[in-house]
């Protein structure tokens, strides 16, 4: 189910088979968190581990 809360798109998964497909096949599409103004100011402009977009920088931060 696709919901829209203001400017944020939310996907609600209600079956185990769809959840397994999202986790195994489409994990990169759902890996990043939506940007918020609080995260921008508290997380060094989205550059810390929690709010960084999935990619090379995120993997490097995870190793630290």
pTM: 0.46
* CB contact at 8 A, 34 and 53: no
DSSP string, 23-46: HHTSTTTTSSPPP-HHHHHHTTTT
- CA nearest 36: which of 26, 50, 23, 22? 50
Residues 64, 37, single domain; the answer is yes
Residues 63, 45, single domain; the answer is yes
Residues 44, 24, single domain; the answer is no
Residues 19, 38, single domain; the answer is no
Number of domains in the chain: 2
Residues 37, 63, single domain; the answer is yes
**The domain containing residue 2 runs over which residues?**
1-30
pLDDT band at 4 (very low <50, low <70, confident <90, very high): very high
Residues 23, 41, single domain; the answer is no
| Confidence check: pLDDT of 7 > 80 | yes
Cα 55 to Cα 13, 39, 50, distances in angstroms: 25, 18, 13
Q: What is the pLDDT of residues 13-52, one digit of tens each?
A: 889 998 898 888 887 777 777 777 777 777 777 777 777 7
């Amino acid at each position: 189910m696709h919901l829209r809360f203001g400017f944020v798109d939310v996907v609600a998964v209600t079956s185990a088979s769809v959840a397994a497909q999202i986790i195994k096949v489409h994990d990169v599409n759902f890996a990043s968190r939506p940007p918020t103004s609080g995260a921008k100011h508290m997380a060094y402009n989205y550059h810390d581990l929690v709010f960084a977009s999935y990619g090379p920088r995120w993997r490097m931060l995870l190793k630290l």
